[in-house]
Each structure stands twice: as structure tokens, then as C-alpha cells.
A and B are shown apart, each in its own frame.
Chain A
Amino acid sequence: MKHLLILAARSAWNRRLTLGMTLVAVTLSVTLLLGVERIRHDAREGFSHSVSGTDLIVGASTSHVQLMLYAVFRIGEATNNMRWQSYLDLKLNPAVAWAVPLSLGDSHRGFPVLGTNASYFDHFRYGDDRALGFKEGQPFKGVFDAVLGADVADQLGYKLGDRIVLTHGIGGIGGLEHADKPFVVTGILAPTGTPVDRTVHVSLEAISAIHLDWQGGAPLPGFSIPQQFVQKFDLTPKDITAVLVGLKSRIGVFKMQRYVADYAGEPLLAVLPGAALSQLWQVIGTVEQALLAVATMVVVVGLAGLVAVVLASLNERRRELAILRSVGARPVDVFVLLILEGLFITLLGCILGVALLAGASAVIGPWVQTRYGIGVAPRLISPDELRLLAAVIGAGLMSSLVPGYRAYRLSLADGLTPRL
């Protein structure tokens, strides 16, 4: 067996150019497959961990999915706001333990800005019922205090005491800036691996304050209120985007949901985060399934190419196989020789694919994190990926049976003298 291994390796090395090209194909296809699986896994992981401990999310009536997207993921523009009064009514409901108001719409260099109050830092939970922690500083106290998520501070290099300017709208670039009212960084949160890391937190009053002299998404021409005078105005918000609600007893959650749906003041919607997350995941899920299917097809194409190349080489190798037979090789040895060759390429492709993916994760992982909020955990390989890899190797072995069997037949027919 050992001498067959050496022979197979030498023979493959002798045809390294053609085999090298197929190796590239197999490697890239394995990288793609594992990459898709990795992003899929991490996206789902981050997704299901993005919020916990909140019993209901209430917002102006849109779809469940949309409400989740902006309340939890801070993605997209909230088209309908709910009135402040509705929030107060909700908070006073005897079944409600706590209610955290959320107000979205501004951004800072591409990161969403969330207006809320200090209770957010007490009640917000993520992952396995984990509370938010401060890496440095403390929650906002003044109107123009800001608390940064870990990624925001990290990527923009902010420290406590730095001044930042918010941009109107979520666009980031080209948006009008609230340049006349800069904020001071008073706190930086510990990393959570959730959208919180990418959020700039300010008080609801701050959101009101920076829009005092604005109307309809633009500053009022020829009218501006200097920063030091905003306190003279009533900064109570008129409306907000959504409310995170914690109940005294989880049993009342459906009753509460109905209460919100029947709320007389305005049409409102209450969603259960767990249910909505899985609903949302189903939408994304079909995409990820499709991606995985495409990646699988690419692997199949890669392996088909491998089979084609090895098969094509067989004709020029008939003499070689006949020589091996004459020095004592059995047809089975010839079969094994060809299987080993296919297996070599597949294994090598898998190893290189894993290495390439590890490199790619390290290099583009942070970019994916900022751009799409998917935290790609740096790792060599996960059990799920290992299973996929095993499947690829299995498929490589199966496809090597084709040239293996063909060589077996050829060497039986040719014997010692190939008819060329």
C-alpha cells in the first residue's frame, strides 16, 4: 500500500500542471462551500442572539419583519412612527414591568444612531440573557452625551471625551449634518456581537434637540437654535420608532399583544421577538439555502473536472499501467492507484480550501462585520464545516471510482502489451 501511495504521488507530480489546475478548481469550490456555510452559520448565530429578555416589541403598524429589522437590527428607515402618548399608556399598563423607547433615523458615519433613555442599559438583554456592560465610561446624562457600541469606537478610533457629529438620515454619505450640535462620548460599551456594537446611543431628548430647528428632513432656512439654548425648549419627543416591552409575567404576552392590536389611540403592532426572528430567518433562510445549493453545485463541477482530467490522462498512461502490471501489479493495484490520485487532489483541495477560508475570514471578516453586521468568528473549522468537508471527501472518493474502474478494465484488457 505504501509503495502505491508513493507511486500515485510521483505520478501525480509528473502531471502537476493539469492536475494543478483541477486542484485550483477543487480548492476554490471547497472554499466557496465552506465560506457560505460559515457565513450562514454565523449570521444565524448572531441573529438569534441579537435580542433576548424582551417580551414584546411594539411599533406603528407595519409588518412584523420590518418592525424587527429596525427595532433590533437598526436596518432600514422606519416609515411610521408611534406617538409618545402611546408609549406612556403602554408603560402605565399594570402588566408591563418595563418599557424602553427607541427612536431611529439619524446616523454617524454609516452607523445608526439610537435615541433611547437610560433604562435601555438596564433592561436590554442579548444572547443568553446577558446585560450590556460598559468597557469605559457610563450612560449618557446630559443631552449631548453619546454612548458608543464597541465596533463604532473601535473602527472610528474614538475615546471618551471625543466629539462626534450626527448625520441626518441613515444614508451616511451625502446626508445633512447636525454640525452645529456635536456630541461628547461619555461611554463605550463592551462588545456583544450584536447590532448594539454598531450603534451610537443618545438620549431621546438629544434627538429632539438636534431637530428643533429642522422641518421635513432639512434645517429651517435662516433659523437656528444654538446648542446651549436647547434646554429652554420642551425636549419631550412627540413620537418614537418602537418600544421594547418587558412583562411582569410572560404568561400575559398574548393578552398584551391583543391589547396593543386593539389600542384605540392609533394602529399599533406588537411582535414576539423570538417568533419574529424565526419568521425573519425563514425569509433569509431560503436565500442561504439557495446559496448553499449553488456552492454545492460548484463543488460537483470541480469534482467532475477532476474526473474528466484523470480520465483523459488514462489513455496516455496505458503504457505506464502495462509496465506496472509486468512488474507484478494486480489490476486492483491499478484501481487503487487511480483512486489515490483522485483522493489526493480532493484532500489537498480540502486542506487548501480550509486554509484559504481561514485567511479570507481573517482578512475580510472585519469588513463583513462592519458592512453587514455578521460577526465571522475566526476559527479553523467548525463541526458543521467538518461534516461538509467529509461529504466533499466522500464525493471525491466516489467520483474517483470512475477513473479507477476504467483503469482496472483497461489493465485487464491490455495485460502486458497495451494496444495503442
Chain B
Amino acid sequence: MSDPVIRIENLSFQWSAGLAPCLDIPHFEVQAGERIFLYGPSGSGKSTLLGLFGGVLLPQRGSLRLLGVELPQCSASERDRFRAGHVGFLFQQFNLIPYLSVLDNVLLPCRFSSRRRQRAIDSGRSLHDEALRLLDHLDIDTSLHHREATQLSVGQQQRVAAARALIGRPEIVIADEPTSALDADRQIAFLDLMMHESDAAGSTLVFVSHDRRLATAFDREIALPAINHAAVLEAAA
């Protein structure tokens, strides 16, 4: 079996020295190609964990390996480069840069990472065509491509953001409650598209939600409080 895509050992994170630890995770692994559903109540530290995956937060203690790279040992700019090149992000709402067109929003990761740009055109298509392909797969009509992001509905915005997270086939795609702002029936449709495309890109998907009903479609479902001892301590206190 190949190395895990994400691997955590004895990780501990606290927001500031005076506060109780927010995360204390003895062990956690995600294998390549897995589709993980991570859930937990609001404030349980889900977004914090994703910040660690993105390399913008650093654990005070422990090991955090992504694709074999020990992130806490990297410099800040190495972590930024790693995130740009290997991780696609998608958030709850307002994911798009308001003054860029739909197309330019999708292409953003390729502007900051030559790796993502390279992988996007590996398919033989031009960068532009690859963006068009993704948008098409995510049900965004061509007439919308040159609109400003703010003129789209919330559902459309989330699908454009998904295309952006997927362009250049990043190994890891992280979605932080991307469906919370959508209607219930839209949520399922979005989830289907998202899963399908992340499979097509060969990405490992970490999907975060406080809503457990969405879990059924995933390979594995993990309750953050179950792996996070800090939360257990907090709950016990």
C-alpha cells in the first residue's frame, strides 16, 4: 500500500499560549483517493484542522505529513508553495474574488502555482480549455464565464469554486462546509458533481460538515471529537 496522503501523529494545536489546546490528535491517516467525511459540531475545531492542512497554522507539537512532506518543518514560503501546488480549497460561502470573471476565478491557482498550471495542461488541452471543461462538468453555462462572480447565484458560485479547487488536479481537495449555504436538494446535486470530478482528477477529498446526513456518499466518515482528545477533555470539563 502507498504512503498515506495525510498522516498525523501526536499533534497538538492551541490558538494561544494561555488557552486550552484546540486540537490534540494522537493519530489520523487518510489514504490516497479516499473520500473522507469529517464532521463535528460548530466550534469543534474542524476549520482549525483544515488550516493546519493548508500550512497556514502550525501545530505546537507533533507530526503532520502531507504527501510525505513534514509541514511543520517547512519554511512559511515552502508551505505556501505546497498549498498552492497540492491542495485545492473550497469554503462555505463567498469563495470567489468579486472583481474577477468566473473564468479568471477558476484560473487563479494556476497563476500562483506553476505546478498546478503544468498539471492543468498535461491533459493536452490549453489552460483556458481545461477551465472550460471543468466549468462545463460542473454545470456552469458558457454564458456565465465572463460574468463577474458577484452576478452568480450562491449555488453557481459554489460550483465555480469547486472548479477552481479542482483545476490542475491537486492531490488533496479540502471542502469546508461548502454546502451549508445551499438548499437541501441542491446540496445532494452539488455533492454528486463534486465527488465525481474529484474522482476524475484523482484527488483525495476531505469534506467537512456539521451535517451528518451528507455522510452516506463517502468512503469513510470521521467524527472529529472522536479523534480529537482536546475536545473530549473540553467536553468532560
Contacts and interface: CB of A to CB of B under 8 A. Distances in A.
A324 B95 CA distance: 10
Contacts of B47: 416-417
A248 interface: no
B68 interface: no
Contact of B109 (A14, A319, A327): A327
Contact of A328 (B51, B76, B81, B96): B81
Nearest to B85: A328
Interface string A359-374: 0000000000000000
Given A327-B109, A328-B80, A329-B80, A14 B99 contact: yes
Given A3-B112, A326-B91, A329-B80, A415 B57 contact: yes
Interface in B72-109: 76-77, 80-81, 83-85, 89, 91, 94-100, 108-109
Contact of B54 (A10, A14, A416): A416
B170 to A, nearest CB: 10
SS class, residues of chain A in contact with chain B: helix
Contacts of A415: 51, 54, 56-57
A333 B77 CA distance: 11
A11 interface: yes
Interface in A283-319: 319
A10 B100 contact: yes
B164 interface: yes
A327 B89 contact: yes
Contacts of A417: 47, 51, 91, 176
Contact of A330 (B76, B98, B100): B76
A91 to B, nearest CB: 80
B87 to A, nearest CB: 9
Contact of B99 (A13, A319, A326, A328): A13
A327 B91 contact: no
A326 B97 contact: no
B50 interface: yes
B84 A327 contact: yes
B111 interface: yes
B83 A328 contact: yes
Interface in A1-39: 3, 10-11, 13-14
A323 B112 CA distance: 12
A328 B165 CA distance: 11
A325 interface: yes
B56 A328 contact: no
A162 interface: no
Given A3-B111, A415-B51, A327 B99 contact: no
Contacts of B56: 325, 415-416
Contacts of B50: 416
Nearest to A10: B99
B57 A11 contact: no
A320 B98 contact: yes
Contacts of B89: 326-327, 416
A11 B148 CA distance: 12
Interface-centre pick from A319, A324, A331 (highest chain B CB count, 10 A): A319
B113 interface: yes
Contacts of A332: 77
B80 A330 contact: yes
A14 B77 CA distance: 29
B200 to A, nearest CB: 20
A319 B97 CA distance: 9
B109 A328 contact: yes
A255 B93 CA distance: 91
Nearest to B108: A327
A332 B81 CA distance: 12
Nearest to B112: A328
Contacts of B98: 14, 320
Given A14-B99, A320-B97, A323-B97, A330 B51 contact: no
B77 A330 contact: yes
A327 B57 contact: no
A352 B77 CA distance: 38
Given A11-B99, A417-B91, A326 B76 contact: no
A319 B100 CA distance: 14
Contact of B112 (A10, A11, A327): A327
A303 B164 CA distance: 37
Interface string A92-127: 000000000000000000000000000000000000
A327 B170 CA distance: 11
A165 B109 CA distance: 81
Given A10-B100, A328-B84, A328-B85, A323 B51 contact: no
Contacts of B109: 327-328
Interface string A325-366: 111111111000000000000000000000000000000000
7 contacts: A323-B97, A324-B108, A327-B111, A331-B80, A416-B47, A417-B91, A417-B176
Interface of A: 3, 10-11, 13-14, 319-320, 323-333, 415-417
Closest 10 CB pairs between A and B? Answer: A328-B84, A328-B112, A14-B99, A415-B56, A326-B89, A3-B111, A330-B80, A327-B108, A327-B109, A10-B99
Given A330-B80, A417-B91, 16 more contacts: A10-B100, A13-B99, A319-B94, A325-B56, A326-B54, A326-B83, A326-B91, A327-B109, A327-B111, A328-B112, A329-B80, A329-B112, A331-B80, A416-B51, A416-B54, A417-B47
